[in-house]
Amino acid sequence: MRHIISLLMENEPGALSRVVGLFSQRNYNIESLTVAPTEDPTLSRLTLTTKGHDEVIEQITKQLNKLIEVVKLVNLSESAHVERELMLIKIKATGAQRAEIKRTTDIFRGQIVDVTSSVYTVQLSGTSDKLDSFIQAVGTASILEVVRSGVTGIARGDKILSV
Amino acid sequence: MSSVLLPCLAKNLLNLAADAVGSLVEVDNVELLSGAEMVVRSLRDEGVKYIYGYPGGALLHIYDALFKEEELTHVLVRHEQAATHMADGYARASGKAGVVLVTSGPGATNAITGLATAYMDSIPMVVISGQVPSAMVGTDAFQETDMVGISRPIVKHSFMIKDPREIPEVIKKAFYLAESGRPGPVVVDIPKDMTDPTKKYEYEYPKKVKLRSYNPATRGHSGQIRKAAELLTSAKRPIIYSGGGVILGQAAEPLTELAKNLNLPVTNTLMGLGGFPGSDRQFLGMLGMHGSYVANLAMHHADVIVAVGARFDDRVINGASKFCPNAKIIHIDIDPASISKTIRADIPIVGPVEAVLSEMNSVLAETGDKPAKEALNSWWKQIDEWRGERKMFPYDEGDGSIIKPQAVIEALYEVTQGDAYVTSDVGQHQMFAAQYYRFDKPNRWINSGGLGTMGFGFPAAMGIKLHYPDAEVACVTGEGSIQMNIQELSTCLQYDLPVKIINLNNNALGMVRQWQDMQYSSRYSHSYMESLPDFVKLAEAYGHVGIQIERLEDLKPKLAEAFAMKDRLVFVNVVVDPGEHVYPMQIKDGSMRDMWLSKTERT
């Protein structure tokens, strides 16, 4: 099963390499990773998605917690949460395709953020599944370039992850 | 000049003054020190007495500061790996972090094996490595290597100094991290410009440090401890399985109290030997791959296992799926990641083993509960049956025409009256030492358990001898392992470290050869040692004493002769049976009880 693990860590050089290194060192799988400083500049929030049996996920969270720079950690998948990923996608848009892509973008509640005579650049956010579906709907034949941010997320309700 | 007025200017002037006289200036109890001096002073203020190292370009400012330092003794090794093992040996014997000083590039990479050794066995250590000047980091400068990067997976934590003013706090943090919680090695990488002797800063060594992201448990969960006590006292076939955490966590006393109070059988891991008195009747010997018949059988048939400071290592549990099918497991460990990693715990208790065991002892004292007498008696009867009348580790003593390696350890035990610090390298001699030397006290058995580092034993023995000059320190080794750090014979002469080296010389990489006998139809691919040196002459060439033992009747008298030379390093080369195997040996992927007991018998 896919898990979204989100953590607060010291915003220090080398901290990220410890997290990433842990995954290769212990043969854990890492599917996506996103990291940026928080409103407190001494802290970074890192969110990653990984897959594995429950025992493996338990080890991953324990080993992450053991890293000295990791302050707090939550497995978002264990409870209700909001999950988002941002995608920028360049699509061949000529002739009749132009209208079709515009319609599909509207259906997915995306925005066309850049236009040339032959290309649309679409911005889309949502769950990873939604982004996958959009790619499928447009069809890989007309896709020129895809950039995805990786998954980020936050717990629903009163639950917060803070120091 | 008032330091209240224009403090900035005042400080600058003081800086200049300090440079001019070339020594530290004290104003208002604040000292001004250079980065290099701060490194040395921080170590002294931390209470460090000895550091082990090797100079080099990136470290020269620090070495110059050391030159003026009187309270801190630096030991010049002959290879940086030995420096790390010396620090490690000291740490294992004393419980305090050992300190290593290595230069950038090859100095740093030579320390890697020692760091990994300490990491695998959770040994507190602080390694200070020199680095090329900050401005040159990343330019492939001479003797540059990314020490923080290379060591990252084998350290508890690491720092790179970015500003000389950080040095005291970082060093304090390094010791705090190395010694607290689950101990481990910490690297402090210091670019050369951070130690510039011409730039001085206010120095103050912090008394305490706190890290918001690091809060190791200081006690166990009382509810869990109560539950564990209940389960334990309801057991019919209980056993204590304790590991290196009991040694590191200084919990031998409460562990022994628990075992004695409830009359429980105890087995130790390789790392845990000495955590419970080795000559006690309740001790079943080491368990695991080369563990005793009785310990492995008792584990397999137990209904409650109390695992204390042990981590269910693959060399202990054999096949994980067949491990102790009827046992409920209580697992006490400071590191939550060690719990339920390979074997699921029924009652996990995260906390320092000493605090948890003491609390469990008071709970038991309060309730007065004990396991049902009848069941426990029949469990002991069964254990005694397994134990039989023979030795804990029986072996074919042969006709006496050739010395058996086991006999050497038995003789060593007698000659040293079981009271020596025994270090070892890795292989058959290590297992024989673990099996036949009965450790009654913790911190006396010093070996590389997790990483299995050949070349560990001799420098480790040196580190111990330096700190405990009156104690007997014996390094049990083999002709393969000893040659991995034999250059340290030179260091021993320089610093007068009269350790005793007991070399079990079988002319082969014994453990490799044993596996080749058992699994590769005795095809000895690169496991024999040709052109061995004359170890006696070699020891003499380094200015020490060499003793050769070839006949069984000479074994004890010559060992006694070696130990009688209190102020000399003695290299005892014992020619032993090359065909000997270590038994019992668990059968791969089997359960705890599946073992070869000799070349021909199995369970």
Measured distance CA(B585)–CA(B565) in Å, rounded? 37
The hierarchical CATH code for the domain B7-203 is 3.40.50.970
Return the active site residues of B: 80, 142-143, 192, 511
- B12 pLDDT higher than 60: no
Chain CA centroid to CA B292, Å: 22
Q: Please answer yes or no on whether B337 and A13 come within 8 Å at the CB atom.
A: no
Contact (Cβ atoms closer than 8 angstroms) between residue B246 and residue B308: yes
Average pLDDT over residues B263-268: 98
For B533-556, how does the pLDDT look when each residue is reduced to its tens digit (9 = 90+)? 999 999 999 999 999 999 999 999
- B2 pLDDT higher than 80: no
Contact (Cβ atoms closer than 8 angstroms) between residue A90 and residue A27: no
Measured distance CA(B328)–CA(B346) in Å, rounded? 6
List the single residue in B149, B156, B340 with the smallest CB-CB distance to A58: B340
pLDDT band (50, 70, 90) for residue B3: very low
Contact (Cβ atoms closer than 8 angstroms) between residue B507 and residue B527: no
Average pLDDT over residues B186-205: 97
The mean pLDDT of chain A is: 95
Contact (Cβ atoms closer than 8 angstroms) between residue A83 and residue A75: no
Residues 169-198 of B with CB under 8 A from A: 177
Distance in Å from the first CA to the final CA of chain B: 86
Q: Which of B343, B341, B310 is nearest to B324 (CA)?
A: B343
Residues 299-338 of B with CB under 8 A from A: 335-337
Q: Which of A95-99, B141-145, B439-443, B565-569 has the lowest mean pLDDT?
A: A95-99
For B197-208, how does the pLDDT look when each residue is reduced to its tens digit (9 = 90+)? 999 999 999 999
- Report the top-level CATH class of B405-582: alpha beta
For B317-340, how does the pLDDT look when each residue is reduced to its tens digit (9 = 90+)? 999 999 999 999 999 999 999 999
The mean pLDDT of chain B is: 94
pLDDT band (50, 70, 90) for residue B28: low
pLDDT band (50, 70, 90) for residue A13: confident
One-letter amino acid at B382 equals Q
> CB of A62 within 8 Å of any CB in chain B?
yes
Contact (Cβ atoms closer than 8 angstroms) between residue B183 and residue B124: yes
Q: Which of B225, B218, B250, B245 is nearest to B310 (CA)?
A: B245
The hierarchical CATH code for the domain B222-387 is 3.40.50.1220
Give the SS3 label for residue B560: helix
Residue of chain A with shortest Cα separation from B341: A59
List the single residue in B153, B157, B341 with the smallest CB-CB distance to A68: B157
- Domains, chain A: 2-78 (3.30.70.260), 82-152 (3.30.70.1150)
Q: Please answer yes or no on whether B213 and A66 come within 8 Å at the CB atom.
A: no
Name the DSSP class of B323: S
Contact (Cβ atoms closer than 8 angstroms) between residue B478 and residue B513: no
Determine the pLDDT at residue A117.
95
Q: Please answer yes or no on whether A25 and B337 come within 8 Å at the CB atom.
A: no
Q: Please answer yes or no on whether A68 and B177 come within 8 Å at the CB atom.
A: yes
pLDDT band (50, 70, 90) for residue B182: very high
Contact (Cβ atoms closer than 8 angstroms) between residue B451 and residue B479: no
> CB of B146 within 8 Å of any CB in chain A?
no
Average pLDDT over residues B251-265: 97
Q: State how far residue A47 is from chain B, nearest Cα, in angstroms.
A: 17
CATH 3.40.50.970 domain span(s) along chain B? 7-203, 405-582
Chain B positions in Cβ-Cβ contact with residue A21 (cut-off 8 Å): 152-153
One-letter amino acid at B375 equals A
Determine the pLDDT at residue B298.
96
Measured distance CA(A33)–CA(A17) in Å, rounded? 12
DSSP characters over B471-513: S-EEEEEETTTGGGSGGGHHHHHHHT---EEEEEE-SB-HHHH
- B26 pLDDT higher than 60: no
Cα–Cα distances in angstroms (integers) from residue B558 to residues B161, B381, B407, B564, B567, in the given order: 52, 41, 14, 10, 16
Q: Please answer yes or no on whether B213 and A17 come within 8 Å at the CB atom.
A: no
For B40-90, how does the pLDDT look when each residue is reduced to its tens digit (9 = 90+)? 999 999 999 999 999 999 999 999 999 999 999 999 999 999 999 999 999
Q: Please answer yes or no on whether B214 and A68 come within 8 Å at the CB atom.
A: yes
Give the SS3 label for residue B585: strand
Q: Please answer yes or no on whether B149 and A17 come within 8 Å at the CB atom.
A: yes
Pairing of strands B347-350, B200-203: unpaired
Measured distance CA(A128)–CA(A87) in Å, rounded? 9
List the single residue in A9, A62, A70 with the smallest CB-CB distance to B337: A62
Contact (Cβ atoms closer than 8 angstroms) between residue B143 and residue B131: no
Name the DSSP class of B192: G
Average pLDDT over residues B213-227: 96
- A149 pLDDT higher than 60: yes
For B519-533, how does the pLDDT look when each residue is reduced to its tens digit (9 = 90+)? 999 999 999 878 899
Q: State how far residue B224 is from chain A, nearest Cα, in angstroms.
A: 19
Choose between B28 and B162: higher pLDDT: B162
Name the DSSP class of B97: P
CA-based R_g, chain B, Å:
26
For A41-68, how does the pLDDT look when each residue is reduced to its tens digit (9 = 90+)? 999 999 999 999 999 999 999 999 999 9
